[in-house]
Every structure is written in C-alpha cells, then in structure tokens.
C-alpha cells in the first residue's frame, strides 16, 4: 500500500485501467529506499517488486501491463539491480512460505543446533544420505477477516493413499534450499502451506448469518410463524452474548436476533461451516500433511491472538481448557455487563463494541478450526498466540527478501548480473565497471614501469660514479710514481 498525507489508501491493483501510473505509485517507496541506501551501493542492491492478493484477482493481461510499466520505467530513475525476473505477482503459496521463513529466521530456527535445542530428524529423500538432525522450526497459522492460512515443515517423507491425494498434496508442498550453496542440503526445507478462502473470522460470521436468515425464513414459511421478523419475537442466536439484540439484513429482509450466549451450542452451530470431508476442511477435502504433535511448535497470528487477548486477556501460550472456560464465561455474561466493562477499560485498547458483539462466535470458530479442522489435540502444549515477535511485527516481506537473496552474497553479485537477461541499463553498468577495472590495471602497470626506469637510472648513475672513482685512483697512482 502507498499512503500519502491526508490521502486515501490505494492499492497497485486499482491501476488496472491506468498501468502507466504504476511507476508513480511506487515512487515514494523507491525514493525512501534510494535515500537510505548509500548511492555508491545502488548498482549492487537488488530490488524486488512482489504483488499479492489484489493483483492476483486481476486478469493476466492487466497484471502483465502493470509489471511491464514497472520494469520499463523504474530503471530510468533508479540504479538498483532490477530486471523482469525481479517483478512478479506471487501466489498464496509463495506468500505463506515467505511468512514461514520470516518468523523462523527471527526466532533463529535456521541456526545450527546446540545441545539443549529441540531438534527434528529430517529425511532428505535420498537413499544414499542419512537423516539430518537440525533445529525444530515453528509452524504458523494466520486467520484474517476473509481467509485462513497454515504453513509448517514436514520433516519426514510424505506418503499418499491415492493418486488423487498425491496430486493434491504435491501442489501444497514447497521444497526449497535456504543454504548458502545450491549443492548443500543441510538447509533444504519441505513446507506444507495452504490458504482457506472464506474461513477468516468475518467471512465465517457472514456465512453463518446467511444460514440463520435462510433457515429461519424457510422455517417460518413451513410453520406459518413470524420468528425473527420483529424485535418482540426475535430469533435466538447461541453465538451472540447473552441478552444482546441485533439485526441482520439480507436481500432487503431484516431478521431480528437475540443472544443466548451458549458457547457449546455455538460450537455445534459453526462446526458444519468447516466443510469437513474425509477429515479435512473444505468441500474439496484439501489434503493436509501430517503433523508430529509430539515434536512440533506453532504460532497463531491475527484472529488467533485477538480471540484470546482483546477480550479474554489470555493471549500467549494456548491452553484449550482455560480458553474454553473463559469463552464460556464470556458468552454467558449479560450484554449490559460487557458494555460496562468496556466503558471501564477492563478489556484491551484494541477491543470495541464490534469485537464484543462477535467475540462469542469468533472464539467458537477459532476453537473448531484448531481442533476439528486442523485436528490439534486438545492437550497440545506448544501453540503460542502472538501479535509481535521480539517486539516486532513479522511480515512475509522479510521472508521474501531472505529467500530471493539466499544465493546472493556480494562476492557472487557479478554472477547474478550475468544470470539475468542483460538489459541495456545493466550492460552499461557492467561496461562502466569493466572500464574502471582496466584503468586501474593500466595505472598499476605504468607505476611498475616508472619504478623500473627509475631503478635503471639509479644503477647507471652509480656505475658512472664507480668509473670516475676508478679513474681518480689510477691518476693518483701515476702521480705517486712520478
């Protein structure tokens, strides 16, 4: 995103009809980078422009037009190391992998293991190589408003029960090398990553409300009742706090709801929305790689953290029993009491009326996603919910730059230049450095030549002095004889 002073937030995907403005859109960010990277380092500083979900929604032709404008115009104003291969629209799978790399890098899980570290045995897939023991990496779960994502390492070789499962599973597994050499396998990682669209907290609530409206109206037509059509005769909703009155509007129809605050019934109500098929989520039965729950660790971000911390105030290490008790108590508390607590600032600063209204539903949804969808044991001890890691927000962009430059130490920069397509602006940069190198060599050779000439003159002068001395000695000897 690019944000100007007192200007609305825009996204690069909004430039689909005016791709020629893409360079202008990124200019403030590139100006910032140019000002903070020493100018003499610009030519050897890689620049990557990676676009995510908004661009993925555009047709391929519009994506290509925007990227082409960037590849053409950016090098005209900036000297960063940039080419066609450095500008792309990344997939949801790539974004998940980059997020996984980012947090594990910050946590130091790519460092070599010490004796006290938790480790895993990793199969390499080669019959000639023994399993590798290295630090245990962490998996991540991120629930936003619209989608849900999970990514974790699969250290053991994966077996599939059918060709269909193999085809689906391989598309969700990413294998990559984070070592300093493409031939080294010590840091080859196999990561499962997938995104569940519509499984975010807000979208799940919308799907739930759609069902409530449709089922209530259908029941009214069948029974001839008027349930939910007025405030005096509301439809009872177990996923709203006790005593809360709310309305839902769909297709010009308004349904009145009254909260029951029954967390266990809410769990049962949201469970069908997981779309479980053969034990996995979604109607298509998305393949889920096995998790070694006895030797794994996970971090939960976004809604996983908000559900635990904003209202319940138990963010951090997840305890299913403690969480269920806190959620049950919250849902069963009178709405008027909850509003008083909000006014008394007994919740976190991020909590507002909307959070209070949907906390009961979202806490049940998170619980069902975790234990019924991802099949985490209820006694799983190694899930931590967080907003920051070491007081910093970890973004996928950190993992992206680490991945993109993993084989690019400065000493290999020239190889990276040759690997690219050699556009004219890169060729001129290379020729400039080549000529500079030639001049330096010429100066050194000239200095050596001058030094040799000087030594020769000194030698000739000393030889002449020696001849003069010899002559004087001869003359002095002749004088004595006379």
Phi-psi region of 390 (alpha: psi -120 to 50; beta: other; left: phi over 0): left
Pairing of strands 87-89, 119-122: unpaired
Which one is catalytic: 44, 95, 209, 309? 95
Residue from 437, 420, 435, 425 nearest 80 by CA: 425
- Any known ligand binding at 22? no
Sign of the torsion angle spanned by Cα atoms 302, 306, 309, 312: negative
d(CA 273, CA 305): 21
- Any known ligand binding at 148? yes
Pairing of strands 139-143, 147-153: antiparallel
- Any known ligand binding at 145? yes
d(CA 410, CA 398): 19
Question: Is residue 95 among the annotated active site residues?
Answer: yes
- Any known ligand binding at 147? yes
Place of tokens 């007192």: 6
Place of tokens 């998170």: 366
Phi-psi region of 108 (alpha: psi -120 to 50; beta: other; left: phi over 0): left
Q: Which residues are catalytic?
A: 95
Which residues does the annotation place in the binding site? 145-149
Which residues does the annotation place in the binding site for ATP? 145-149
């Amino acid at each position: 995103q690019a944000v100007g002073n007192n200007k609305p937030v825009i996204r690069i995907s909004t430039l689909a009809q005016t791709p020629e403005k893409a360079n202008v859109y990124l200019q403030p960010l590139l100006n910032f980078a140019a000002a903070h990277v020493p100018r003499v380092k610009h030519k050897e500083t890689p620049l990557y422009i990676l676009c995510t979900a908004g661009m993925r929604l555009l047709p391929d032709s519009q994506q290509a037009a925007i990227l082409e404008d960037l590849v053409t115009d950016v090098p005209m104003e900036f000297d960063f190391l940039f080419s066609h291969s450095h500008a792309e629209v990344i997939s949801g799978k790539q974004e998940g992998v980059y997020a996984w790399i980012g947090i594990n890098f910050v946590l130091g899980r790519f460092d070599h293991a010490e004796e006290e570290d938790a480790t895993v045995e990793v199969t390499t897939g080669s019959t000639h190589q023994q399993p590798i023991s290295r630090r245990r990496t962490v998996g991540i779960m991120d629930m936003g408003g619209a989608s849900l994502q999970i990514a974790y390492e699969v250290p053991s070789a994966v077996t599939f029960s059918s060709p269909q499962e193999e085809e689906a599973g391989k598309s969700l597994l990413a294998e990559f090398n984070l070592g300093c050499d493409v031939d080294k396998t010590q840091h080859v990682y196999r990561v499962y990553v997938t995104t569940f669209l519509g499984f975010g907290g807000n979208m799940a609530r919308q799907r739930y409300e759609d069902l409530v409206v449709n089922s209530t109206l259908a029941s009214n037509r069948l029974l001839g009742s008027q349930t939910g059509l007025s405030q005096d005769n509301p439809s009872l909703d177990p996923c709203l706090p006790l005593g809360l009155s709310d309305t839902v509007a769909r297709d010009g129809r308004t349904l009145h709801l009254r909260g029951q605050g029954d967390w266990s019934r809410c769990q049962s109500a949201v469970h069908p929305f997981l779309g479980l098929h053969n034990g996995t989520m979604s109607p298509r039965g998305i393949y889920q790689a096995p998790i070694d729950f006895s030797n794994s660790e996970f971090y939960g971000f976004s809604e996983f953290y908000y559900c635990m911390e904003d209202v319940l105030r138990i963010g951090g290490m997840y305890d299913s029993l403690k969480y269920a008790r806190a959620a049950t108590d919250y849902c069963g508390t009178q709405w008027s009491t909850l509003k008083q607590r909000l006014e008394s600032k007994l919740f976190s600063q991020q909590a507002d009326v909307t959070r209070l209204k949907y906390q009961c539903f979202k806490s049940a949804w998170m619980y069902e996603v975790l234990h019924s969808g991802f099949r985490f044991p209820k006694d799983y001890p190694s899930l931590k919910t967080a907003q920051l890691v070491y007081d910093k927000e970890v973004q996928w962009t950190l993992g992206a730059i680490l991945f993109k430059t993993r084989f690019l130490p400065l000493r290999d920069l020239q190889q990276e230049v040759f690997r690219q397509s050699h556009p004219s602006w890169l060729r001129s940069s290379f020729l400039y450095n080549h000529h500079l190198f030639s001049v330096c060599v010429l100066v050194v050779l000239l200095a050596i030549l001058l030094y040799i000439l000087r030594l020769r003159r000194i030698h000739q002068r000393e030889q002449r002095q020696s001849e003069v001395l010899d002559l004087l000695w001869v003359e002095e000897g002749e004088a004595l004889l006379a």
